[in-house]
Structure 1
Amino acid sequence: MAIVIYSASSVLAVVSIPLLIVKFLMHLVVDLVLVGSFLLFMTAFAGVGLASMLVKEDTTDDYLVAGRGMHPALAALSAVSTWNSGYMFIGFIGFTFTMGDSIVWIAVGSMIGQILAWLWLYKFIQQSANERGLRSLSSLVSEATGSPEAKLAAMLSILFLSVYAAAQLTSGGKALYVMLGWSEVVGILIGFVLVVAYCYAGGIRASIWTDAAQSSVMIVGSSLLCWVAMGEVGGFDGLHSGLEEQNANLTSIVPADLGFGLTLWAFAFFLGGLSVAGQPQVVSRVMTLGTDEDRKKAMLWFFAWQTPFLLIMVIIGLASRVVFSGADFDPELGLPMLAMETLGPFWVGLILASIFAATMSTADSQVLACTAAFTDDVMPEISQDHKKTKTVTLAVASFATAISIFGLYVPGGDSVFSLVVLAVYGLGSIFVPILIIRWAEYEPDTTHTMAMMIAALTG
């Protein structure tokens, strides 16, 4: 009779096999729930955008400004989403991660600048657009559509907006990479397909409807993430002590080593907020409103949504710094990584879908703004040709995608915050001074207008 002797190692090996299988199955279930949740919400967002096909009209006016009959709440929620999008979820979180409590200056300064833009400049923009039937911001730099200064403004806005759209595609690629492990290039190409689909389906109406749905879902998801993250770090006391343990400068509202002092630091962010009036993709939302009363209602909706959302993002950015303190950590991955660290897979999928949908619908808005600039100011002879207008849309989307992919292989070229800052301040410096002058009822001639834009570009 043979006696079989099992060694301890062989017994452990036999026992560990079922454990490994169970562990594998658990990971598989988590991944399936995450991907399923992501696809569920992405399908819902896409469905909302595609539903706009039911009410659209095959005209360039409907394609670019939704017939100027958009509801103020929808226009406002879309403006919030378009203004924030990949910048807020990826770039702003990364900047908060780096700067700590001194991020308060960008929050307050930017908000004050945006309030002034909504009160005065947007009123001028909406009235002028409605009276003259304008569909692009570049048309506002001159009384004559297709004038030399309008053509220059259009080309510059196309350049900067393409960079801005590339930043959105990069944001979406980063989110898919960190949460699903997909290549950033794959994420960018998926974004390109969705951008073109949104544009072709319903134009700006599809973008606005999707933005409104995404904003509603994201405020719920980000509030949950903020609540859970605060519990993870030990509340506000734990947040403060966690930041102070890493670096005392993180708990100071005055950044260290300011070359030009606190006043100019804060003023720079105020100008960034005021520059919202120079962002064609945001201004286009104002152009979809029918009356000045609609603009006032939209302004209230905008700040009622923007203010709490901004506060939530600040807290999430600071909490991510406490949770992920490693020197080799990419600050711009703070929000998606924090979601994966603290939330269940269903909620992670929701947040991922919200981030991705926001970046894509914003990129869609920017591509449409480029389309309006090109068809109305560079080649006004095709401004009423719906088919050629869509061809321009495809070309612009392809250009932005190429910039996004190229940026992955350039040191610093994949920084969402840097790309957005370049675009926001570039567009703001080109358009806002001219808009202020024209709002004050001065009408500079072609030479002076072009000189101002070139000076802003080269300065």
Structure 2
Amino acid sequence: DKDRKEAMIWFFVWQTPFILLMLIVGWCSRILFTASDFDPELGLPSMAMETMPAFGVGMILASIFAATMSTADSQVLACTAAITDDIKPEWREDHKTTKKVTLAMAALATIISIAGLYIPGGDSVFSLVVLAVYGLGGIFIPLLTIRWMGYKPDSKHTISMMVAALSAVIFWRVTGLNVHVFESIPAMTAAFTVHFVYCAFREESSSQPFGRFTISDTHKEKLRTGGLVVLFLVAMTETVYALNYLEEEPTSGGVGTYDVSTNLSLILVQEGTEYIDDDDPKTIIVNTNELNLVGKNIVGAILTLEYGEDETSNGPTCGIGNLGDAEPDSISSRINYAEFNQTTSGENQEDETISHNASISWYNTSLNGKVSGLSESQIIEQLDSGGRGTGEYSLEIEVSAESGGGTGCNHEDEGEEVDYTLHLMILEYDIRESTLLE
């Protein structure tokens, strides 16, 4: 007990600050990297490259590779130990045979890693870790529960429960049902089902599924009745949910490979001309509620500015050299909608019309062409605005005027005339199951 408590203390002493640091990295990444198609798994190295010197970046990358190799090495050694200690104990005494088993396990781990890239979601470490966590929960919680109750399953009983739980997790993930119910629930249900079936029909398994807790026939009837009532209520709830969901997404498919085609178009919301005085920003409020946007999948907005140079000059020396040339002004624009915003700027040029854009969007621009590792509903979720895009937009335009000139040549530039247009981005998309193998 003393050793166990000491080990637990050391575990939490190191694990707690590690988790806190990872949370801080995640929160900072959410602030620094706001692109909709940013890969969350690149948060730590991307932040290192943004904020640390070359030596620090090297240390971070080295730690990532070290953790990866440590995990792979641990898996190989654990599998080797399982074979030489449990399956074939006689091999443990032969050093040469043990080495062969280790090499075989390393080769098998490599093959599994490569094959995993071709499984839906297999190219995402986060997705695989979540799958593993759900699998472990579905495997060990039922086993620990029945062991706690005093039930001692034999090897076949235990392995059958484990296989049923893991199979349920994988099936649930591949079919996309995890969008509705966490994988752990069907996994534990499958494991407990195997347990009760074995207790009822398998001679080698004890007929008392609750171990040392004996239930009388009277209580069994009450439990059956209560279980049926609960099952009926759960079934009714899930049925109502499924029917409503199917009405909204009748063709939603599971995790797989899809051909996604998108078409982006623009709708003009407002245009106008404003004279912007030097260092006196102008704010324009645009409301889309008066427009007929019903059924439109609004995924962003673009503010476009066009401007020239109206700087004037006069004086006897203005024709000498470049004294009469206008000095470029800085024109900045900012578009705001809900939590989305972007600021851009440009410079005008004499005798030219210049333009620049400021745009915001709230959809995944990378989902086009072949998309793997996502269910159809997940793709729709990242392409559909969900009703967002209507309401109030705030446009800000600012001019920082500069005057040229010199001795004998006076320049005046009090601001600029700016033309602006606001367009909404409308996305149409089509999702079909891919029929070609890559």
Same fold (TM over 0.5): no
Higher strand share: 2
TM-score (norm 1): 0.34
Larger radius of gyration: 2
TM-score w.r.t. the length of structure 2 is 0.36
Higher relative helix content: 1
